[in-house]
Amino acid sequence: MAWLMLRRSLTRRRSRVLIAVLAVAIGSTTIFALALLAIDIPRHMSQDMRSLGANLIVLPADGSPALSASTVEEIKGVLTDSEVVSVVCFRYANVRLNQQPFLAAGTDLAQAQKAKGYWDVEGDWPDQPGQVLIGRDVASLIGLAPGDTVTVTLTQAVTAADPTDPSDQTDPDGQAPEPPAERSARLSVRGILTTGGNEDGFVVMDLSDLERLTLSFDLVDIVELSIDRDSASLAELAQTIDRQVDQVSAAPVRRLAHSEADVLAMLRSLLALVAVIVLALTLIGVATTMMAVVTERRAEIALRKALGADQRSIAWEFQCEAMVLGLVGGLLGAGLGFGLAQAISQSVFQRGVAFSGWLAAVTVAASVLIAYLASRQPVRRATLVDPALVLREE
């Protein structure tokens, strides 16, 4: 009987029911979309911020030589594949272009292109050895443009021999060796590099080209890592690398790590504030609608009280009606909220968001709770009416 009365009550007042459902649905749509974005946006932003530069660097420890290829592999072994965004190694050497001294940086250019999203290249990225990126300052100084050919000359030859070992400083006859012959390479300028940083004064080439100039192989001066971790766990990772890998010194790039944490914290706070405001507006909207519904049914309430119905049963009927409206609005809002979150994420980050079943269930439950709380005060006031006065007015 109660369910029959509830169904008829809902079907007789379609306009009021529709308004109440829409009020709940709009609120739950916004809340569900904000919650999904609050979960996925930090992940998207973290991935995007990783392209703004490394947040962890590994250098040779004090007094240690350059890092060997085996050492780099040991460093990678400490990391898990899921947290590594990029690993880029650099080797540096002093070179001359048109008799002007510059710093050459050798690296895996394909990996650098993935990791250095903030590098602006006029022209194209090198796609094979023999091609080079010229920093903007270098190109301006000596007049280079994409498509030109440049001779890169090593200023000082570097070999794998230990410069502190006397046996490496003399020839078999006991005489000091002749200075090493200059080595040069003809490279094609593929693009002009602009970063707004030190790289504007670099000559960036494939690591294999720099190794042939220096005759120093399988060595790097720095390892730049982009790791998907917060600042606290990033510091722990640096300590772990120091303990497990010999002769290296790992350190987080604190400015970038803390800036990321601050931005994400502010974003979460903003989304939480908006969600609270939406909850309050939804509560007011549903309460107003329920007040109108209850007011329209004052005569019915008075008649039922005159026939012996108690206040508790009358209140429970209205509250059940409100919770049904909250359930319908919550289910509708969860579906619409997922679509809204997808649209926002695609337009801003060019990535979608994953549907969260538990979050949808929480949203629906919150919608039911909001509808229940919004109906309590109007229903309480309605059940306190004097049947004699109301029926006399009728």
What pLDDT sits at residue 171? 45
**What is the rounded CA–CA span in Å between residue 318 and residue 216?**
83
pLDDT value at 277 more than 60: yes
pLDDT value at 47 more than 80: no
- The answer to whether the beta carbons of residues 155 and 103 sit under 8 Å apart is no
**Which position has the higher pLDDT, 315 or 69?**
69
What band does 124 get if pLDDT is binned at 50, 70 and 90? very high
**What is the rounded CA–CA span in Å between residue 245 and residue 335?**
50
3-state secondary structure 198-237: HHHHEEEEEHHHHHHHHCCCCEECEEEEEECCCHHHHHHH
- The answer to whether the beta carbons of residues 264 and 46 sit under 8 Å apart is yes
What pLDDT sits at residue 354? 82
Half-sphere exposure for 112 (CA within 13 Å, toward CB): 23
- The answer to whether the beta carbons of residues 56 and 234 sit under 8 Å apart is yes
Could you tell me which residues come within 8 angstroms of residue 354 by beta carbon, excluding any fewer than 6 positions away? 40
The average pLDDT across 287-298 equals 72
At 332, list the tokens: 């509708």
**What is the rounded CA–CA span in Å between residue 206 and residue 129?**
6
What is the tens place of the pLDDT at every residue in 158-203? Answer: 433 333 343 343 444 555 444 445 788 899 999 999 988 888 999 9
DSSP H or E segment with residue 60: strand 56-60
Q: What is the reported pTM?
A: 0.58
pLDDT value at 266 more than 90: no
What pLDDT sits at residue 230? 73
What pLDDT sits at residue 10? 55
Q: Which of 50, 189, 59 minimizes the C-alpha distance to 116?
A: 50
Please tell me the least confidently modeled range out of 45-54, 318-327, 341-350: 45-54
Half-sphere exposure for 13 (CA within 13 Å, toward CB): 21
DSSP H or E segment with residue 111: helix 109-115
**What is the rounded CA–CA span in Å between residue 37 and residue 271?**
9
**What is the rounded CA–CA span in Å between residue 121 and residue 253?**
24
Mark residue 10 as left, alpha or beta (left: phi above 0; alpha: psi -120 to 50; beta: remaining).
Answer: alpha
State the chain's mean pLDDT as an integer.
Answer: 79
What pLDDT sits at residue 36? 83
What is the tens place of the pLDDT at every residue in 62-113? Answer: 777 789 999 999 999 988 887 887 889 999 999 998 888 999 999 999 888 8
Work out the angle between the directed axes of helices 311-349 and 254-296 (0-180°, nearest 10).
140
**Which position has the higher pLDDT, 63 or 336?**
336
Q: Is 96 helix (H, G, I), strand (E, B) or coil?
A: strand
- The answer to whether the beta carbons of residues 392 and 307 sit under 8 Å apart is no
pLDDT value at 14 more than 70: no
Please tell me the least confidently modeled range out of 27-36, 252-261, 370-379: 252-261
- The answer to whether the beta carbons of residues 263 and 45 sit under 8 Å apart is yes
Q: Is 89 helix (H, G, I), strand (E, B) or coil?
A: strand
Q: How far apart are the first and last CA of the chain?
A: 26
What is the tens place of the pLDDT at every residue in 362-394? Answer: 888 988 888 888 778 777 776 666 666 655 555
What pLDDT sits at residue 348? 75
Place of tokens 């050919």: 149
- The answer to whether the beta carbons of residues 338 and 40 sit under 8 Å apart is no
**What is the rounded CA–CA span in Å between residue 157 and residue 12?**
92
- The answer to whether the beta carbons of residues 369 and 380 sit under 8 Å apart is no
Place of tokens 């107003």: 288
At 247, list the tokens: 């002769």
Work out the angle between the directed axes of helices 2-12 and 14-50 (0-180°, nearest 10).
80
**Which position has the higher pLDDT, 61 or 387?**
61
The average pLDDT across 306-317 equals 72
At 354, list the tokens: 């994953």
